[in-house]
Amino acid sequence: MNDKSFAAQYKDARWQRKRLEIMERDNFTCHMCKRGEEEEVSLNVHHAYYEKGKKPWDYPDDMLVTLCEDCHKNLHDLKNTIMKNMAFMSCGQLDGLYRLSHADDLLREMGSNHDVYNLSGMIFALQNGQTAWEKGRDDANAK
């Protein structure tokens, strides 16, 4: 898919409708810094991941989140830094990272009711100034 058709998809009425639904769900507030329309910040809807050939509006709602323009840029910068650093990781380190990112599924298969955090959740927690441990404690206390 070329850049022009990719950019055109974000102007498509289906994406605009989905984007508005996500922003309404999130009360027109950035998930990370909690700023919103009152502060006159520009808001974006962020995809937690991309799949080749998938249209922007075809992702599940729980994989989309409202972010202000600054937090959106910072999150992408952080993901790019992580990806660059992964280029220098050994196969064993990459395997460990893969296992960590799938730990929730593995624990569920084993019948555990404990949660481990996926990589996206850990990135969101780091962007919010929380460590994974603090996020886990807060999530556990919320249950």
The Cα-based distances of 93 to 99, 124, 132 in angstroms read 10, 22, 19
- The mean pLDDT value for 107-134 works out to 51
Per-residue model confidence as pLDDT tens digits over 12-69: 999 999 999 999 999 999 998 999 878 889 999 999 888 888 999 999 998 999 999 9
Residue 88 has pLDDT above 90, yes or no: no
Residue 107 — pLDDT band, cuts 50, 70, 90? low
Looking at residue 5, its pLDDT comes to: 80
Looking at residue 6, its pLDDT comes to: 75
34: alpha, beta or left? (left if phi > 0; alpha if psi -120 to 50): left
Which tokens belong to 11?
């102007």
Rounded distance between C-alpha atoms, residue 68 and residue 97, angstroms: 28
Domain range annotation of the chain: 1-68, 89-143
Residue 137 — pLDDT band, cuts 50, 70, 90? very low
Residue 78 has pLDDT above 90, yes or no: no
Residue 95 has pLDDT above 50, yes or no: yes
Higher pLDDT, 58 or 113: 58
